[in-house]
Amino acid sequence: MAILSLLLIFLIIIWIEVPALVRKKMWRELIVFSILLLIGMMLSIPQALGIHVPSPDDLVAVIFKPFSEWLKQ
């Protein structure tokens, strides 16, 4: 049920936003909107299923931890 609710919400967002972007021929904005919406769907559906989704902060910490350790020296 949660998955269907999420999909319905995403469809409503698409239904509201996409026609105006197409009508105004805002192709770059449409591409960015689509990518961000897809990322949002990819993160929210596993959470709705109860699957642990790691925080983006974890990735940032892994990337910058060596640099911060180097600065501490």
User: Which position has the token pair 């959470």?
Assistant: 47
User: Which position has the token pair 């904005």?
Assistant: 29
The pTM score is: 0.72
Sequence-ordered list of residues with C-beta below 8 angstroms from that of 52, at least 6 positions apart, any chain: none
Q: Which of 63, 48, 70 is nearest to 40 (CA)?
A: 48
The neighbour count for residue 37, using CB atoms within 10 Å, is 15
Predicted confidence (pLDDT) at residue 4 exceeds the cutoff of 90:
yes
- Each residue's pLDDT tens digit, 21-54: 999 999 999 999 999 999 999 989 999 999 988 8
The answer to whether 30 touches 22, Cβ cutoff 8 Å, is: yes
